[in-house]
Amino acid sequence: MTDHFAGDTRSMRERMEAGDLYIADDPELARDSIRALELADRYNRTWAQDRRGQRRFSASCWAVWGRVLKFVRPFMWTTANT
Q: Which residue ranges make up each domain of the chain?
A: 1-82
Q: How does the average pLDDT of the chain come out, rounded?
A: 76
Residue 63: which pLDDT band, with cuts at 50, 70 and 90?
low
**pLDDT of amino acid 69:** 62
70: pLDDT strictly greater than 70: no
**pLDDT of amino acid 75:** 42
- The residue with greater pLDDT, 56 or 76, is 56
Report the pLDDT averaged over residues 66-80.
Answer: 56
Check: CB of residue 43 under 8 Å from CB of residue 54.
yes
Degrees to nearest 5, angle at CA 64 with 5 and 55: 145
- Greatest Cα pair distance in the chain: 55
6: pLDDT strictly greater than 50: yes
